[in-house]
């Protein structure tokens, strides 16, 4: 399977479009009427101001302080790039803010301070303290990072957390707990060697010692060798605190007989000879980025009994900070914590370790394309495990409450866990699962409209993302010219361009098409024109003959016209079982709307078929279908002839013994709103519907386009279901990402076929 890759242009385009940067600010209250403005600002805003002045703790009730973290850096240690300065660190800090939101629904603002003076830095952060519920320090070089963090912890009454130190330490500790569990060893007994006496390394040893590791069993090394009591060269107060009483002087000597190696140093720092000299069942955390101190392959060549973790996503057991900092802050914010202390960090590590030992949900296995289970290659949960959000913050919150740093007590922990589950956006999980299945499928995808720059960029992205091979229907010179105009001239050589002039199969295609259309008013000239000149028909013929696994079209022509052309080659009409299903994603909700493509005015039997196909698409997306036959009438009122067939369609399904929930007829607000459903306790739906079957194609199309234009919903589709081959028809306003998502859907279907 090809590994995803991207170019310099891809990275720049990602940060530039659809608008510069990675996040924006949106209002959470209405701002439309004069009354709204009066409440939001003057004079209404004076009232919460007065309340907060008298009772400062109410700032958590009346402002966003309780869910707002500042990601702050001066850019002196940006990733592995060194001192790039404050401004150049902004893309990283924006990215960290996005991760806070994505993984724990924590709002975050990036702040870049243009100073290398610790005093000036601390003063600036301290003065901003009232705005935030927590401070995440990032990419600040040692030893200043130690000074800054310690001083801010002393001067501020909100959590201050340097993720480069403690985030790495927490995930490392979680993994080590499980590695020792598998090895049958205890943390208080093992000998640990740490290479890399910087911020992360020191934090790792400090946390492990607070968890029971013995001081003289922990050997810290730097570029000058072992840090031992009495060493003077290259020392500082933070290294001296971990100096061991030992005769060992080199990393090689320290590794002899060691149980654990922790590396936060540099590529190649550990040799196979060192690994060979370690104790039985050695634990090796080679966390240097981008290349580890020793690769898992190199370590396992000499020690099959080794448990190996790295910082890389393309190896098992990734030590990834995103498993820690979002959930640490989530738990800390929810108790209005004054600090994140060692007890909270240990609770986070222990909860992560416990989670990895449990059975892994199927959706995680689906997302990663493999079955995961606790063992030597799975000692740390994956970053996309959906249980993290409701398992880790409660553990952190309990520890914070038990150690007295909480301003707010969580009395009903079960309710809190349910609330945490509701914070997560299911759309990300759905798309991630689809991407993993598409990569496993490695489908050859036909992009029919090679004359459109969006389609070309999508084809390139499909291939570079490792989903499979892209075939573009077009002219080579035109494709090269359009890609060059998009700043992607190098990509032209990556794509295979196909057309009627360069295919050896044109005669076969024409004979096939003539056989299908000769009694439908098409002569030989018509057939030549369709097969040789129309890209939609040509691409369909390629797909029908197995010269590709799926097809993407519709970006340049209206879907109704494209469907007419596709039907020349495939049986995709209303009575062939074909159904168009559009996926609408908005504000963390996913709703499928059908039929948006095929049936103009379906009767009750057609509607039952549409419901069945819609339920199937829902399951393909990883959703448990709940189907609603929607109308302006709800369970017979108001009475309407046009609502009658929606009621009858549910009756048709009654006789088919289908295996999904369905109900109708009902208005959309009843179908989607739990409060609305409470008025109808007899309803067979156990929750809000996620598949809406609508009375006619025009109402379906209006609904989808209204959501897209007025609400900014993301729309995938219409997905053409019920046809033998994967054919996906985009809308003419599709973005590059929309087209790629359609290709991913087609690839998933190709895999099943």
Task: Return the active site residues.
Answer: 41, 96
Q: CB under 8 Å to 405, separation ≥6 — which residues?
A: 335, 337, 338, 339, 340, 341, 344
Q: Are strands 225-226 and 218-222 parallel, antiparallel or unpaired?
A: antiparallel
Distance CA 432, CA 435 (A): 5
Distance CA 553, CA 734 (A): 11
Distance CA 381, CA 351 (A): 10
Q: The tokens of 690 are what?
A: 């996620």
Distance CA 474, CA 456 (A): 10
Distance CA 701, CA 95 (A): 36
Distance CA 723, CA 480 (A): 33
**DSSP calls for 484-549:** HHTT-GGGGGTSEEE-TTT-TTHHHHHHHHHHHHTTTT--HHHHHHHHHH-HHHHHHHHHHTTSSS
Distance CA 484, CA 498 (A): 19
Distance CA 358, CA 313 (A): 21
How many angstroms separate the Cα of 391 from the Cα of each of 130, 339, 410, 413, 659?
29, 20, 15, 11, 32
Distance CA 333, CA 393 (A): 9
How many angstroms separate the Cα of 543 from the Cα of each of 266, 473, 570, 724?
49, 12, 10, 10
How many angstroms separate the Cα of 599 from the Cα of each of 552, 595, 648, 702?
21, 6, 17, 14
Name the packing angle between helices 163-183 and 144-155 (round to 10°).
Answer: 100
Q: CB under 8 Å to 589, separation ≥6 — which residues?
A: 426, 427
């Amino acid at each position: 399977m090809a590994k995803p890759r991207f170019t310099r242009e891809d990275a720049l385009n990602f940060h530039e479009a659809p608008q510069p940067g990675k996040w924006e600010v949106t209002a959470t209250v209405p701002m439309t009427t004069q009354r709204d403005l009066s409440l939001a600002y003057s004079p209404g805003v004076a009232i919460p101001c007065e309340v907060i002045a008298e009772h400062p703790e109410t700032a958590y009730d009346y402002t966003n302080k309780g869910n707002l973290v500042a990601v702050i850096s001066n850019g002196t240690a940006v990733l592995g790039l060194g001192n790039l300065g404050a401004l150049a660190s902004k893309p990283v800090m924006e990215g960290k803010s996005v991760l806070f939101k994505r993984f724990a629904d924590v709002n975050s603002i990036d702040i870049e301070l243009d100073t290398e003076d610790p005093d000036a830095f601390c003063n600036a952060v301290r003065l901003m303290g009232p705005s935030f519920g927590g401070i995440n320090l990032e990419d600040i070089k040692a030893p200043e990072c130690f000074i800054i963090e310690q001083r801010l912890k002393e001067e501020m009454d909100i959590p201050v957390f340097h993720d480069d130190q403690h985030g790495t330490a927490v995930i490392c500790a979680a993994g080590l707990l499980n590695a020792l569990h598998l090895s049958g060893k205890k943390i208080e007994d093992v000998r640990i060697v740490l290479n890399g006496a910087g911020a992360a390394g020191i934090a790792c040893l400090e946390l492990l010692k607070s968890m029971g590791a013995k001081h003289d069993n922990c050997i810290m090394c730097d570029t000058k060798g072992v840090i031992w009591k009495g060493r003077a060269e290259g020392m500082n107060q933070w290294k001296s605190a971990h100096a061991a009483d030992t005769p060992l002087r080199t990393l090689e000597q320290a590794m002899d007989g060691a149980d654990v190696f922790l590396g936060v140093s540099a590529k190649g720092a550990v040799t196979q000879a060192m690994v060979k000299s370690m104790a039985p069942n050695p634990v090796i955390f080679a966390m240097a980025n981008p290349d580890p101190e020793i690769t898992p392959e190199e370590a396992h060549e000499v020690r099959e009994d080794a448990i190996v973790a790295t910082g890389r996503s393309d190896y098992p057991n990734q030590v990834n900070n995103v498993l820690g900092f979002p959930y640490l802050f989530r738990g800390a914010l929810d108790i209005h914590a004054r600090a994140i202390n060692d007890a909270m960090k240990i609770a986070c590590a222990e909860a992560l370790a416990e989670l990895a030992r449990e059975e892994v949900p199927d959706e995680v296995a689906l997302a990663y394309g493999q079955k995961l289970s606790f063992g030597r290659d799975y000692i740390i949960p994956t970053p996309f495990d959906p249980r993290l959000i409701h398992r880790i913050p409660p553990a952190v919150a309990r520890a914070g409450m038990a150690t007295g740093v909480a301003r707010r007590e969580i009395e009903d922990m079960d309710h809190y866990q349910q609330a945490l589950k509701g914070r997560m956006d299911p759309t990300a999980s759905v798309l991630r699962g689809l991407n993993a299945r598409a990569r496993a499928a490695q489908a050859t995808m036909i992009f029919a409209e090679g004359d459109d720059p969006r389609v070309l960029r999508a084809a390139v992205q499909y291939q570079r993302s490792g989903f499979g091979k892209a075939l573009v229907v077009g002219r080579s010179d035109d494709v090269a010219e359009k890609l060059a105009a998009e700043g992607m001239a190098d990509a032209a050589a990556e794509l295979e361009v196909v057309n009627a002039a360069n295919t050896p199969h044109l005669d076969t295609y024409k004979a096939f098409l003539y056989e299908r259309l000769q009694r439908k008013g098409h002569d030989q000239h018509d057939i030549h024109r369709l097969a040789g000149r129309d890209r939609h028909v040509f691409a369909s013929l390629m797909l029908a003959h197995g010269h590709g696994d799926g097809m993407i079209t519709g970006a340049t022509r209206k879907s109704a016209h494209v469907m007419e052309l596709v039907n020349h080659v495939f049986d995709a009409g209303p009575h062939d079982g074909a159904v168009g299903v559009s996926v609408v994603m908005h504000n963390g909700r996913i709703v499928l709307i059908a039929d948006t493509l095929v049936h103009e005015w379906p009767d009750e039997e057609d509607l039952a078929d549409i419901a069945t196909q819609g339920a199937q698409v829902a399951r393909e997306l990883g959703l448990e279908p709940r189907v609603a036959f929607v109308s302006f009438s709800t369970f017979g009122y108001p009475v309407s002839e046009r609502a009658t067939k929606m009621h009858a369609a549910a009756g048709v399904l009654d006789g088919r013994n289908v295996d999904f929930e369905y109900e109708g007829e009902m208005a959309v607000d009843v179908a989607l709103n739990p409060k609305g459903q409470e008025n109808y306790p007899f309803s067979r739906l156990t929750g809000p519907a996620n598949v809406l079957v609508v009375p006619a194609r025009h109402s379906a199309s209006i609904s989808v386009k209204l959501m897209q234009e007025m609400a900014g919903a993301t729309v995938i589709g219409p997905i053409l279901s019920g046809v033998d081959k994967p054919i996906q028809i985009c809308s003419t306003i599709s973005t590059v990402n929309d087209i790629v998502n359609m290709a991913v859907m087609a690839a998933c279907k190709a895999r099943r076929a």
